[in-house]
Every structure is written in structure tokens, then in C-alpha cells.
């Protein structure tokens, strides 16, 4: 018999019209398992998310808001009837265990390639090559100079976000989270290194924030009473193209003061210097304090937390919930392991994005002998 925990992580949290059973959040993670022409989830997605539904809330992997938003092979979308149907089965599986499920909406902008877009160049605020790598059917390839978006392109893309948000609600998601970091489209608008526009969407902080705020407004109007979150990483650095300093981060500060009560929560990701690098605790705290100073709502902390540091950040009032990414890969029962102080399994990183069930739905849950139950016999 398992004993309940008195941990702050396992108190309830009201978010929008939902009450989450605990403050453990599964962070969005790309897993590249949508290996079909429709880019729609299948039975293994139902199993994967259902296995991890001990979290108070799960945020889905990034879901492309349109065909132009795709940034890699085998990644899912939320812009077609087939995708809505597939995600409906996933939301049913998660809701059956009591967890909330949020759809993360994403547009990668320049971080794509014509091989992923039917021969079309990627769209971006300006025609500046981000100098990154993306996965295509031919393997990892270098990005190219994108096509600078016209105002019509911008308006159509905002409408794509709104349409994907409506699709999320049709599919049974409890709300949506807008991906606004890691050098993708929204952060490309925010960053003066990638936004050289001279119209109303480029230039000063207010103009570079305009696209982000218009997306937030359009999505908010599309989901009604659903939960609306934004995920930010103002100091994310991954190569020269994605450097963020105080000037570029100022666009996020401005946006946070403007979203007000439109947004249910801010999901704040601490800085790190590469995909697998450790997060720095001092930087993590500084980011959360900066978000708190600009935004009065619910804050979800993300960035290399363990049980102790998660408790500490909640106890200090820097955040209201904590999200875990990589630990959920190999620990489908992570909330239970947190509650009982059980060790965490390490993921096999070689199988993270290879497709199929291996390294996806075959990680076991922890086993534990209950010493108190054994003592009763």
C-alpha cells in the first residue's frame, strides 16, 4: 500500500476552470513518432500520453499550426480533420486518468527547409538564415535563407494559430500553450538579430512584440474558457543565430506586461547553452523572479529540476508548478516516483527520435516493496 505525500508538489492547483490534482507538469517534448502521411497521432501516442497521466497537467509535444509551420520529419500537426480525430483519442486516454492535457501550438519559421514544405521556402520575419540544422527524409540538413513574410503572410499565420486553437478544443484538449522560444517564429520576431523589418512588426521592442501579442489575442478569442499558456525562454542560447541578450529579451518583458489576464499561465524555461547542458540554478531563479515582476498569474518553472529543487522553488514562491521534460521519457510514473522518493531511470537518448515503440512506450514503471505492508504479515 502506497502512502500519500505531504509535498507541496502534490497539493492541488486551480488553473482556469480546471483544478489540477498536483503541481507536477509534463513539459512538451518532441518525440518524432508521427510516421504517417497525415502527420496524425496513432495508438502509440494514446499509450505514451496515457502512461504519463499521473501528472496534474501534460503539455503535448509541439503541434504544427499549418503545413508551413513544420520543422522536421515525423512531427504532428493540428491543422487537419485526421489530426483532430487522432488527438481526440489521445485526450480521451489522458482524461480517463484525471489529468489535464494542453496542446502546444508551434510554428518554426526559418528553422525549416524546403524539403519539408513541398519545395516552398520557410517563412520568417526577415530573409536571414538561422544557420541551424533540421531533420528531413534525407537526414540532417542545414537551414537556408527563408522568405521574408509579407503582411498578408503574417495575418494568415495568425489565423492559422487561431484555427489550430479551435481544433485543439474540438479534439478535447483542456487548452493550448503557445510556443514562443528556442529560435522559432515568435522568438524570431522578438529578436533583432532575426527581425530586420522596418514596418509595424519590426524595430523597437513594442513592434517586435506585436506578432506575439496578436497571436495571443487571436488564440484567446478562439478557445473560450479553455486554459491559455505561453512558454518562453528569453535567454535560450543555441548557436549564434539564437543568442538572446537584454535587448532581445526586452521584447518578452514587454509582452509579459501586456498579456495580463488574457493568459492563464507562463511556462518559463531556464537558460542553458546546448540541448543536453545542465541548467544553472542561479539563472533559473533569476528568470522566475523576472517573470514574477512582469506577470501576476500562474508561473510554471521548467529547467533541470529534481525533487528537492522543485520543492524549493515552490516553497520560495518563485513558481506555482514545476514541469519536467527529459525525466518523463524514461519514467512514465514520474509523479509516483517523486511522491515516494523512488530513483529515476535514465533515458536512452539514442532512441529519442527514431520512431516506433522502442524508447517510447516500453519504459517500465517502478516497483517497490512496501515495508509496512510486509510487516503486517
pLDDT tens digit string along 31-59? 999 999 999 999 999 999 999 999 999 99
For residue 376, what pLDDT band results from cuts at 50, 70 and 90?
very low
- Per-residue pLDDT at 244 exceeds 80: no
Averaged pLDDT, 335-341: 95
Ordered by start, the domain boundaries in the chain are 8-375
Whole-number pLDDT of residue 29: 97
For residue 7, what pLDDT band results from cuts at 50, 70 and 90?
confident
Whole-number pLDDT of residue 6: 57
Whole-number pLDDT of residue 375: 41
Averaged pLDDT, 271-275: 68
Q: Mean pLDDT for the chain? A: 92
- Per-residue pLDDT at 377 exceeds 60: no
Q: Is 353 a catalytic residue?
A: no
More confident of the two residues 108 and 272: 108
Segment 89-126, tens digit of pLDDT: 999 999 999 999 999 999 999 999 999 999 999 999 99
Return all residues near 78 (Cβ < 8 A) that are at least 6 apart: 63, 64, 65, 84, 87, 103, 105, 164, 167, 168, 171
Segment 122-152, tens digit of pLDDT: 999 999 999 999 999 999 999 999 999 999 9
Of the CATH numbers 3.20.20.70, 3.40.190.10, 3.30.70.2740, 3.40.50.300, which one belongs to the domain with range 8-375? 3.20.20.70
Segment 213-229, tens digit of pLDDT: 999 999 999 999 999 99
For residue 284, what pLDDT band results from cuts at 50, 70 and 90?
confident
How far is Cα 228 from Cα 15, in angstroms, rounded to an integer? 9
The catalytically annotated residue of 48, 184, 235, 265 is: 184
Segment 151-190, tens digit of pLDDT: 999 999 999 999 999 999 999 999 999 999 888 999 999 9
Whole-number pLDDT of residue 261: 86
Of the chain, the percentage scoring pLDDT greater than 70 comes to 91
Amino acid at each position: 500500500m502506497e502512502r500519500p505525500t505531504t509535498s507541496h508538489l502534490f497539493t492541488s492547483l486551480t488553473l482556469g476552470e480546471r483544478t489540477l490534482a498536483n503541481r507536477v507538469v509534463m513539459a512538451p517534448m518532441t518525440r518524432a513518432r508521427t510516421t504517417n502521411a497525415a502527420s496524425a497521432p496513432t495508438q502509440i501516442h494514446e499509450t505514451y500520453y496515457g502512461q504519463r497521466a499521473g501528472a496534474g497537467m501534460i503539455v503535448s509535444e509541439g503541434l504544427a499550426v499549418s503545413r508551413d509551420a513544420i520543422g522536421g520529419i515525423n512531427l504532428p500537426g493540428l491543422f487537419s480533420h485526421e489530426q483532430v480525430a487522432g488527438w481526440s483519442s489521445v485526450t480521451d486516454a489522458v482524461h480517463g486518468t484525471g489529468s489535464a492535457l494542453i496542446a502546444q501550438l508551434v510554428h518554426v519559421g526559418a528553422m525549416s527547409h524546403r524539403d519539408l514544405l513541398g519545395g516552398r521556402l520557410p517563412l520568417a520575419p526577415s530573409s536571414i538564415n538561422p544557420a541551424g540544422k533540421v531533420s528531413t527524409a534525407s537526414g540532417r540538413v542545414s537551414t537556408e535563407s527563408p522568405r521574408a513574410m509579407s503582411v498578408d503572410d503574417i495575418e494568415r499565420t495568425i489565423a492559422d494559430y487561431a484555427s489550430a486553437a479551435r481544433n485543439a478544443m474540438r479534439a478535447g484538449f483542456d487548452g493550448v500553450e503557445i510556443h514562443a522560444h528556442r529560435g522559432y517564429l515568435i522568438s524570431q520576431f522578438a529578436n533583432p538579430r532575426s527581425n530586420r523589418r522596418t514596418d509595424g512588426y519590426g524595430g523597437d521592442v513594442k513592434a517586435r512584440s506585436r506578432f506575439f501579442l496578436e497571436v495571443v489575442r487571436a488564440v484567446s478569442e478562439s478557445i473560450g474558457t479553455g486554459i491559455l499558456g505561453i512558454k518562453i525562454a528569453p535567454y535560450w542560447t543555441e548557436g549564434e543565430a539564437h543568442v538572446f541578450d537584454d535587448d532581445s529579451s526586452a521584447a518578452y518583458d514587454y509582452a509579459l506586461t501586456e498579456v495580463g489576464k488574457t493568459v492563464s499561465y507562463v511556462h518559463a524555461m531556464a537558460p542553458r547553452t546546448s540541448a543536453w547542458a545542465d541548467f544553472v540554478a542561479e539563472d533559473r531563479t533569476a528568470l522566475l523572479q523576472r517573470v514574477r515582476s512582469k506577470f501576476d498569474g500562474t508561473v510554471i518553472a521548467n529547467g533541470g529540476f529534481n525533487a528537492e529543487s522543485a520543492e524549493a522553488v515552490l516553497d520560495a514562491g518563485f513558481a506555482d508548478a514545476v514541469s519536467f521534460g527529459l525525466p518523463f521519457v524514461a519514467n512514465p510514473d514520474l509523479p509516483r516516483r517523486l511522491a515516494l522518493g523512488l530513483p529515476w531511470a535514465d533515458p536512452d537518448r539514442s532512441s529519442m527520435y527514431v520512431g516506433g515503440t522502442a524508447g517510447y512506450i516500453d519504459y517500465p514503471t517502478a516497483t517497490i516493496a512496501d515495508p509496512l505492508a510486509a510487516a503486517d504479515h
